[in-house]
Every structure is written in C-alpha cells, then in structure tokens.
Amino acid sequence: MTVRGVNDPVTGPLVVVGYGGVVAELTGDRACRVPPLGPETAAEMIADLRCSPLLYGYRDHPRADTTALGELLIQVGRLVATLPEVTSVDLSPVTVSSKGVTVTGARMSVR
C-alpha cells in the first residue's frame, strides 16, 4: 500500500491511500479525502479501493488489520492539517498484515 498526505497552498490538505506499485500507477486505485479524518472516513477510504477485497480476507488469506491502516490515515491527515509547512508525506511501501501496519519507506517535504 501507499499512503500520502499533501498540503497544497491553494487547495489545502489532502490524504491519499492506494494499492502500491506499478499496477496501482496503471489502474489509479486510490482514494482521497480532506482531513481531519475520523475512523469512519478512514474505513470508507479503504473500502473505496478496488483492491479492498484483498485486505478483507480474500480466499485463504487472513484479514488485514484495516483498523491500523485507518489509524495511519488519520495520523497523516492530522499531520498535514495541523502543520502547513509540511508540503508532503509519502509513505511507501506500507505493508498491511493481520498483525498491523509496517511503514518501510518514508519521505517528507517541508517548506
């Protein structure tokens, strides 16, 4: 997965979640919302993804911890909404398993 927060001086803060990798770039499988986000909105963002069945326990794979992914979305939204000097936060890859969320790569831009 990939999680991104942006803070544009014209449009304001935005949180984006999507399936990671080349396939996601080709398919545009992303969901966006304006923070602040609550648990229900974060869950809606995840459910809006075409890849969401993979997270909810597809075939013999266990259900991923979508609550932890939702909490990450909430925290990224809080960061870009409260700190306008943070222009972008890019977390990729984000691994979501039945045991939680692991952020393997992170970049942040500050103006």
The CATH number of residue 68's host domain is 3.30.470.20
State yes or no: pLDDT of 23 exceeds 80: no
Distance, CA of 68 to CA of 49 (rounded, Å)? 16
pTM of the model: 0.95
Q: Average pLDDT for residues 44-50, to the nearest whole number?
A: 97
What per-residue confidence (pLDDT) applies to 108?
A: 98
- Number of structural domains found in the chain: 1
Q: Which domain holds residue 23?
A: 2-110
> What is the tens place of the pLDDT at every residue in 54-79?
999 988 889 999 999 999 999 999 99
Are the C-beta atoms of residues 96 and 1 closer than 8 Å to each other?
Answer: yes
- In the 8-state DSSP scheme, what is residue 91? E
Question: Of 33-47, 49-63, 70-84, which range is least confident?
Answer: 49-63
What per-residue confidence (pLDDT) applies to 27?
A: 85
Write down the mean pLDDT value for the chain. 95
Distance, CA of 61 to CA of 32 (rounded, Å)? 26
